[in-house]
Amino acid sequence: MKIKTRFAPSPTGYLHIGSARTALYSWLFARHHGGEFILRIEDTDLERSTPQAINAIIDSLNWLKINWDQGPYFQTKRFAYYNYMINHLLNNGHAYKCYCSKNRLENIRNQQMINGEKPRYDGFCRNNYQKNIFDDLPYVVRFRNPKEGSVIFKDLIRGIIQYSNKELDDLIIRRTDGTPTYNFCVVVDDFDMKITHVIRGEDHINNTPRQINILKALGAPLPEYAHVSMIMGNDGKKLSKRHGAVGIMQYRDEGFIPEAVLNYLVRLGWSYGNQEIFSLDNMKKLFSIEAVSKSASTFDNKKLLWYNQFYIKNLSPDNIAQHLFWHLNNNCTNIVSGPPLKELVQLFSKRCKTIKEMANYCYNFYQDVCQLDPEAAKIYLTKDATKLLQRVRDKLSIINNWTKESVHNAIVQTANELEVKIEKVSMPLRVAVTGVSYSPDIDLTIKTIGKLRSIKRIDIALKLTYGDD
């Protein structure tokens, strides 16, 4: 049997961490088994679905490198097919027209509430359908749910789940305006798209028995189900923006890299021994749905940052450079006028938790002059330092072979000639050339910034004098 899974988001907002994890598990399951993965956009809620949300879903999956083999399918483009299937159920008696007025439904509902019963349709039209009398009136179509027995299914994560049919009323599958309803579209699509494994959030468990009954009525094979648990914030409440969780694209904007987000997500509810680090290939190889935890997971921003830092340090500089490029470019930085990005990655990868942080260090390398931090300038660009700066500037300016070593020699020689410690030279130099009092290795930094720019910046700093000494 060819394994086929799907990710079926409703495009009503950004793609959040929980949905991205569901997509990842569903995708990994398909990839692990050499199967197929489908993207289906469940956009039947016309009021809440937006094109921006559709784009956010597609962009996020692309960014995470979760690729699909078919789709994206859009449910709004498939109404004719759903209606065809509804008519089929009407014809074979698995569905019926319901003419109950809103008023009547409200009355039964109120009465049920007063009696302390669960509100449900009382089945009036199921039993009293009189074609000739009602045919001109508006109607909905309801699924004729079995009255007896129960629906039992084995959830691959949670084990056996059972619902008595008595708990399920007759679901509306077509509204009076002729549009099919959510649960019906899901079922028809899972059937039509030959989905073998439905992997989705646990908020859909309650839909499953109804969906199974409809599948049976359609004569469809039943897929396997796996309901993935919720993700909570550290206060035990459902994860939301309050906990610092944002849409996937915002993680990109904040300087996270997909490898880190994927590794974090896969571990958030799935484990393989004590292993923490999983490459994509590794995940595909090792993932199994049975090892997904059925308890809720807790979102932890610090852990995500830890993964990000790990991958920034350990992925190839070429890979990190691509992300760095995105950030610099997004901030209108022309990287042609400066060092190759790979060199900057090598310079900063050990000290940055995010690419955004790295980019902040890097802008400086693509501008002629740098902004001086007033505090650092006040401390280090003193009158005293002028002499040191001037001397090191002269030495730097006559270097022919601009390397880390030649820059280093210029600094050491200056310190020796003027009989001061190296820091006395390197700190004012650092502030003059980088604008700030912290930077990686100053020799390498100056080498990377380049000769012309470095000299230009020292000249600007030399014109400033601070302090009284």
State whether residue 76 is helix, strand or coil.
helix
Amino acid at 442: I
Q: Nearest approach, Cβ of 43 to ligand GLU (angstroms)?
A: 9
| Interface with ligand GLU (CB under 6 A), residue from 16, 28, 42, 353 | 42
Please answer whether residues 149 and 111 qualify as being in contact, where contact means their C-beta atoms are separated by less than 8 angstroms. Answer: no
Phi-psi group of 446: left, alpha or beta (phi > 0 → left; psi -120 to 50 → alpha; rest → beta): alpha
Closest CB 466 distance from ligand GLU, rounded Å: 59
**Applying CB under 6 A, which of residues 4, 5, 8, 353 lies at the interface with ligand GLU?**
8
Q: CA–CA separation, 172 vs 121, rounded Å?
A: 10
Provide CB contacts within 8 A for 164, sequence distance 6+.
149, 150
Q: Is the dihedral of CA 373, 374, 379, 385 positive or negative?
A: positive
Least distance from ligand GLU to the Cβ atom of residue 10, Å: 4
Query: By Cβ distance, which residue is nearest to ligand GLU?
Result: 200
Residue type (1 letter), 317:
P
Binding mask 190-219 for ligand GLU (x = CB under 6 A): ----------xx--x---------------
Q: Is 98 exposed, middle or buried (0-12, 13-18, 19+ CB in 10 A)?
A: buried
Q: In whole angstroms, give the CA distance from residue 455 to residue 447.
A: 11
Residues contacting ligand GLU: total by CB under 6 A: 8
Q: What span, in angstroms and rounded, lies between the C-alpha atoms of 409 and 369?
A: 24
Would you say 39 or 257 has its CB closer to ligand GLU?
A: 39
Site map (CB under 6 A) of ligand GLU, residues 144-183, x = contact: ----------------------------------------
* Residue selected from 10, 322, 367, 406 as contacting ligand GLU according to rule CB under 6 A: 10
Decide if residue 238 touches ligand GLU (CB under 6 A): no
168 neighbors 145 (Cβ within 8 angstroms): yes
17, 98, 156, 186: which one binds ligand GLU (CB under 6 A): 186
Q: How far is the CB of 380 from ligand GLU (least distance, A)?
A: 56
> Pairing relation of β-strands 4-7 and 95-98?
unpaired
Question: Is 241 marked within a binding site?
Answer: yes
Binding site: residue ranges?
A: 241
The binding site for ligand GLU (CB under 6 A) comprises 8-10, 42, 186, 200-201, 204
Binding site for ATP: residue ranges?
A: 241
